[in-house]
A and B are shown apart, each in its own frame.
Chain A
Amino acid sequence: MEHIITPKVEYVKLLNRYPEKKSTLGTLYLTATHLIYVEQTNSTRKETWVLHHHIMSVEKLPLTASGCPLLIRCKTFQLLHLLFQREKDCQDVYQSLLRLFQPEEELYAFLYNPHQNEEDRRQGWEYINVANDFSRMGLSNDFWEISHLNKNYEICSTYPSILGLPKNVSVATVTGSAKFRSRGRLPALSYFHKDTKAAICRCSQPLSGLTSRCVEDEQMLQAISEANPNCPFIYVVDTRPKLNAMANRAAGKGYENEDNYSNIRFQFQGIENIHVMRSSLQKLLEVCSMKSPSMSDYLTGLENSGWLRHIKSVMDAGMFLAKAVCEERASVLVHCSDGWDRTAQVCSLACILLDPYYRTIKGLMVLIEKEWISFGHKFSHRCGHLDPDSKEVSPVFTQFLECVWQLSEQFPCVFEFNERYLIEIHNQVYACQYGNFIGNCQKERLHEKTFSLWPHLLKNQHLYRNPLYRRSLECKVLRPSTLPLHFKFWCGMYNHYDRGMHPKQSVLDQLLSLTQKQVEGERTMTELQRVSGVVGLDFCQGGESESSTFLFKCRSDQI
């Protein structure tokens, strides 16, 4: 590739963040897709692979006596501090990386082929289907139906082609309401709660300005309200801080006036915007990369970053929705400004709190596909996939994953997946290896040339299982504590590559290997029983029989 000036540099040092530990000496390779660092000692060979798409920034640091340092920061929160002996090598690698990690046109996904044929590829894309999830919720029913009005993205270009809408709502109401909403993002169904008949709907802010109103939009909200026989009102939740929403009024946008809509209860939630979140993460990462900080530096830094405060605000909003739906049996309409960042976070989190299905490996895929990909969360912009605009980049999706992790810490048995699943999804979102997260909305997404991530994750699902998961657990709705002290710093994500900070023995690995052994043991057992049946050995006698019934009882519990 023309961008790679030097494909191989020898005697490169990888500096360790702990001064007391020895840095290693190795060889650096640049390929079209990866940066590879190889340490070779007599007996061991250690390779560090970094995908170019994962690189966030490359920085040349001032020359030191020991060489030319190059600092590579990754979107996966990996930090590589390389030291070159020759200034020229450093410059060449720097120049090459600048071109490689900010591709102008070609994303990795268009080159990548996981050894699948066209048929597999096509089927892979069909594996997760949002329409199926609507059927799972019981749509269409007496209250809600699946609408194809947006089939060619004509009503809203950033929405999915199929929408859940209140039954019998007229086309005029739909199009009228869309015109009164930012970017045409009209109120549409996010989740229908079968038990209470309450629904979560999402949209963007109304173009209400200081005085404007829209009859169709009012009718639309009325229709949502009428679609729920169990509650006379709906909540309208604006996830923004009140001040931000008020500022938008001056620009002809804003929020719903309770006087114009019948039976709505309006609520602000106070989640900050993408810019605040971006700078908060930056501060958090500064804390994470401090060299031997004191406890006080760390805790003060954590507080000043505001990160956990923001995570809590998202969680609080998600909780508000879940409570409204399951306790008050009230439907909720959620929006922020454009309804593709905070709204996505809050709606998907509420889904996880309400519905155990979304806590499974497949269910989380469906949820991400539904609330994030198809409802137009701008992955390309937020992740800075192509030619990034720094003002558009923001860790909105990361925050959602973290909220799920925080829940899994409070409820260790209710998620089918473990922490590694969340981290793998996070890595894949930035990797651009699969086509799922490329583009900003469904209309933009081209599935023809790329592969879908989900079959790949499913193939490796044994790695992502939570051995403590109990499907039978009577925990339909999660009610987490949102006291500040129940939110923890997620070391596994933000200090993922600082292995020294993690527990040295992993309970998860232990249990996963046990469950693996269990599967093998059960297989052997069946085989042995078959053989003993053949030779006529009655193994179920005396004291033995008890334990074998115990075995089968346990086994059926597991399934």
Chain B
Amino acid sequence: MEFAELIKTPRVDGVVLHRPFMPTVEGTLCLTGHHLILSSRQDNTEELWLLHANIDSIEKRFVGSLGTIIVKCKDLRVIQLDIPGMEECLNIASSIEALSTLDSVSLMYPFFYRPLFEVIEDGWQLFVPEEAFKDLESMVLFYPWNETTLFGLPKEDEEDNIALWSAESAFTVDEAVMMRAAQPLTGTNGRRCKEDEKLINATLCAGKRGYIIDTRTIAVAQQAKTRGGGFEQEANYPQWRRIHKAIERSNVLQDSLIKLVEACNDQSHSMDRWLSKLEASNWQSKVKEILTTACLAAQCIDREGASVLVHGTEGTDSTLQVTSLAQIILDPACRTIRGFEVLIEREWLQAGHPFQQRCAQSAYSNGKPRSEAPVFLLFLDCVWQILRQFPCSFQFNENLLIMFFEHAYASQFGTFLGNCVAERVKLQLSQKTVSLWSWVNRPQELERFLNPLYEPNNLVIWPSVAPQSLLLWEGVFLRWNRSTKCLDEACQEMVHIIEYNKELQNKVNSLRRQLAQLETEDSPLQTP
């Protein structure tokens, strides 16, 4: 067994754990193949169970024979372990390093995890692509082609990257669709593809207009031509108008996250330093850019009844942010828990967002980034911004978003493993691992994610993208840098008010009913 070789010292006594805003814990540290465990072996003290996969980087320090390991996690938490004995400390550190950077996917925890709960509803069977598109009866009308034609299209990975999403008739008079794709492979000499033109143009009825939203600036899109990519020439797609928006590429994003988290962890008391670091991280700018583009896409559909095609380069990053946010704006179904899960499944997992590559490292990675990028986290941040502006329109609360962030980076579930559907099939995830949905959708878990203020709202919800309206997502970025006691109390109090009210109204109603019954009954009183 490989793990045993990696674990040089499986257990050390007398280890002290320091976490911000929590009492220190002294206990025994154990390393298993997938977890770092610290237990004081006393009742009422919390044990620390940390997935190795959650560890982003570690630092070692020594004072005499006392070693200290600073563990920085992908969920942005930083903890400190004081380990007596230099050798033990070095062994633990090197084991953690090795175990947290396993190369093989099949060694990851989801392949070993056995649920302690009964799977009532298998998450793997929950969202079949055909189901997700079932509302799109018109799809057949739009797509009179068979699979072979689709294969003939000159877009990168066309077969899994072209997808349709229909604006629900509830908020559009005309059938407008939103589509996503990768860039067309026009190249420098302006290659054309009849099938692609036919396909794109065929989605529009005669006399209708559509918008192609290219998430890159015109300059970046031009540059892409030299690498064989490019953009649609308007002459060849006469009913379409192309709009360029500047959403930064995913590699810049990683740097932005690192800077933001660094700023949030800065304990300096200089206000200017904080604000300038926040600005320099560029994270909030990205939130604004993406929401703006999503609003634009939603506007084309809602206000003009026009169809929209969104693409960047690959169609697996910024494109997905835009299409999924536009749906949250337009479609009330996406604001329910189930609907949001469907959205993640369809617009992210099925659409081939490379979760494994993007989430391999988080904000504390010190190596040279390969293809890591917090594209999904940025999307969740944007959802949080809309949620904050429409606190009563979502069935779920912030905790659900934070949970998705955690599980995208490190999880006992197989849902976010692999980079696309094909890889997931190859890994046999549905047979060998448990789906995140199997767990989330259990009533016991769901409770934690419910928004007590939720009142279904069938309207389109337009968020404000003014800088004053977009706040730093404290729930993620300041999560470990603040005491949440007061905020938790506020949440409890809110739930209490709402519950108490319900109870009161029920009581009043039942009393009324009883009285009414009494009044109509002439017979002697009967206790109900």
Contact = CB atoms under 8 A, between A and B. Distances in A.
Contacts of A489: 468
B269 interface: yes
B271 interface: yes
A554 interface: yes
Interface string B249-280: 00000000000000110011111111110110
Contacts of B501: 514, 517-518, 521
B247 to A, nearest CB: 13
Interface stretch (B200-208, B311-319, B374-382, B490-498): B490-498
B472 interface: yes
Contacts of A559: none
A48 interface: no
A538 B390 CA distance: 44
A419 to B, nearest CB: 14
B497 A467 contact: yes
A511 B494 contact: yes
B446 interface: no
Interface string A431-473: 0000000000000000000000000000000000001101001
B101 interface: no
B527 A312 contact: no
A411 B485 CA distance: 9
Contacts of A412: 486-487, 489-490
A126 interface: no
Instruction: Summarize B's interface: helix, strand, loop or mixed.
Output: helix
A491 interface: yes
A501 B525 contact: no
B523 to A, nearest CB: 13
Contact of A484 (B271, B388, B468, B528): B271
A180 B264 CA distance: 47
B159 to A, nearest CB: 37
Contacts of B464: 500-502, 504
A486 B264 CA distance: 10
B281 to A, nearest CB: 10
B16 interface: no
Interface stretch (A27-35, A243-251, A523-531): A523-531
A413 B486 contact: yes
Contact of A514 (B270, B498, B503): B498
Interface string A276-310: 00000000000010001111111110110010110
A346 to B, nearest CB: 17
Interface in B415-468: 453, 461-464, 466-468
Interface in B513-528: 514-515, 518, 525, 527-528
A292 B469 CA distance: 12
B504 A294 contact: no
> Interface residues of A toward B: which range?
35 or more
Given A532-B514, A538-B527, A541-B528, A296 B279 contact: yes
B393 interface: yes
Contacts of A486: 478, 482
B98 interface: no
Given A468-B490, A491-B469, A548 B507 contact: yes
A376 B271 CA distance: 31
A502 B466 CA distance: 10
B49 interface: no
A53 B403 CA distance: 51
A144 B503 CA distance: 51
Contact of B275 (A297, A302, A504): A302
A498 B468 CA distance: 10
Interface string A529-556: 1011001111101001001101100100
Given A524-B508, A539-B511, A481 B482 contact: yes
Interface in B60-103: none
A484 B274 contact: yes
Given A413-B486, A483-B481, A504-B463, 9 more contacts: A299-B467, A412-B487, A468-B494, A484-B273, A501-B464, A501-B466, A503-B388, A505-B390, A528-B512
Interface of A: 288, 292-300, 302-303, 306, 308-309, 312, 316, 410-414, 467-468, 470, 473, 475, 481-489, 491, 495, 498, 500-507, 510-511, 514-515, 517-518, 521-522, 524-525, 528-529, 531-532, 535-539, 541, 544, 547-548, 550-551, 554
